[in-house]
Amino acid sequence: MLFTKMHGLGNNYIIFNLLENSLEEQNLQPLAKVVSDVNFGIGSDGMILICSSEIADFRMRIFNADGSEGKNCGNGLRCVAKYLYDHMFAETESFSIETLGGVVKVSIRSDRKNVAHSVTVDMGEPKLIKGMIPMKGEPFSTTINETFSISGKEYQMTCVSMGNPHAIIFVDDVDDVPLEKIGPIIERSELFPERVNVGVVHIKNNEELHYRVWERGSGITMACGTGACAAVVAAALNKKLKKHQPVRVHLPGGDLEIRWDENNHIWKTGAAEYICHGEIQINDSLSRSIV
Ligand SMILES: N[C@H](CCC[C@H](N)C(=O)O)C(=O)O
């Protein structure tokens, strides 16, 4: 099976294009763990399938490194958009992609230096009520800087869904937080029935913030596009940043520009790059591990 490995700010995915591979979509979920596992597969933060859609121009499915299916993936969307445009599946620079978290609109543009494409994605509207995150509690209430005690430690969290769930914690220094310790504890807390992505945020000034993530199903990654959107929403909800202004989000893998617009849509602009193309043989040992 042919694949393309791409990344958005270091958050990297193995992409299988089912528009040109005659692959059975439903049989591929177990492959996510195998291709993500460096010891056995190609090594990545997860796997993405490009599929046909009944309601949009294309459809994207995203699987985390542990094989769980995510409902959205901001960095993955930019990679898929660039791939579809570069490989002429998309005839125009703007098109729509269906995800489990909803349909998003993407637009490709060469960046100012005309060196590499940057991709702008309309990530749609953030969901703020507990029932939509989803998380335990009164389903129509929001979680803004609420204190929760998890495994004996208190965390002040603001929770946002960008089609996938994010718990945001404001800190003085994102690098001074043992995210590899608290991430899995919060991710698997009974507060979140579908688990949660955990992000720590430091507001640098009124136009910039730093963000680090422990991703649901993948652990620490270099960047998280939906998480960066959730971080900007949480900062505005906590009146740490003004709504509607562009915010530069600094992640370990690079920067994203995020804007929460006047129509309640979140816009994300950033790069998407190729890493390699290749072919994976579904031989006996591999097929044994994916059936
Ligand atoms: N781990 C996430 C999916 C990947 C999201 C992230 N890579 C992004 O760029 O948004 C989840 O299970 O919700």
Q: What is the pLDDT tens value at each position of the chain, 291 positions in all?
A: 899 999 999 999 999 999 987 777 877 888 899 889 988 788 999 999 999 999 999 999 999 999 999 999 999 999 999 999 999 899 899 999 999 999 999 998 865 454 456 899 999 999 999 999 999 999 999 999 999 999 999 999 999 999 999 999 999 999 999 999 999 999 999 999 999 999 999 999 999 999 999 999 999 999 999 999 999 999 999 999 999 999 999 999 999 999 999 999 999 999 999 999 999 876 655 554 443
How many structural domains does the chain have? 2
Lookup result for tokens 């608290």: 182
What's residue 21's pLDDT? 77
Q: Are residues 113 and 227 in the same domain?
A: no
Q: Are residues 140 and 116 in the same domain?
A: no
Q: Are residues 83 and 193 in the same domain?
A: no
* DSSP H helices in 70-114: 74-86
Contact 251, 258 (CB under 8 A): no
Q: Are residues 159 and 232 in the same domain?
A: yes
Q: Are residues 94 and 193 in the same domain?
A: no
Give the range of the structural domain holding residue 185, as residue numbers without chain letter: 130-264
Q: Are residues 32 and 100 in the same domain?
A: yes
Question: In a 3-state reduction of DSSP, which class is residue 14?
Answer: strand
| 244 located within any domain | yes
Residue 219: CA count within 13 A, CB half-sphere: 9
Q: Are residues 76 and 143 in the same domain?
A: no
Q: Are residues 119 and 206 in the same domain?
A: no
Rounded CA separation 164/202 (Å): 22
What's residue 4's pLDDT? 96
| 280 located within any domain | yes
Q: Which two tokens stand for residue 60?
A: 């994207």
Contacts of 255 (CB under 8 A, 6+ apart): 9, 248, 249, 270
Q: Is the ipTM of this complex over 0.85?
A: yes
Tell me which residues are annotated as active site.
73, 224
What's residue 289's pLDDT? 47
Nearest atom in ligand 1 to the alpha carbon of residue 76 is 9
DSSP β-bridge partners for residue 58: 97
Q: How far is CA 263 from CA 3, 124, 125, 146, 266, in A?
A: 37, 9, 9, 26, 9
Distance from the alpha carbon of residue 215 to the mean position of ligand 1, in angstroms: 6
| 149 located within any domain | yes
Rounded CA separation 250/204 (Å): 9
Tell me which residue has its CA closest to atom 11 in ligand 1: 70
What's residue 117's pLDDT? 64
| 291 located within any domain | no
By C-alpha distance, which of 66, 73, 227, 41 is closest to 49? 73
CATH assignment at residue 277: 3.10.310.10
Contacts of 168 (CB under 8 A, 6+ apart): 157, 158, 159, 160, 199, 200, 201, 230, 231, 234
Q: Are residues 109 and 34 in the same domain?
A: yes
Quick one: how far is CA 18 from the chain centroid? 21
The pTM (predicted TM-score) of the whole model is 0.94
Q: Are residues 46 and 136 in the same domain?
A: no
Distance from the alpha carbon of residue 284 to the mean position of ligand 1, in angstroms: 31
Q: Are residues 92 and 180 in the same domain?
A: no
Tell me which residue has its CA closest to atom 12 in ligand 1: 70
| 214 located within any domain | yes
Q: Are residues 224 and 245 in the same domain?
A: yes
DSSP β-bridge partners for residue 276: 5
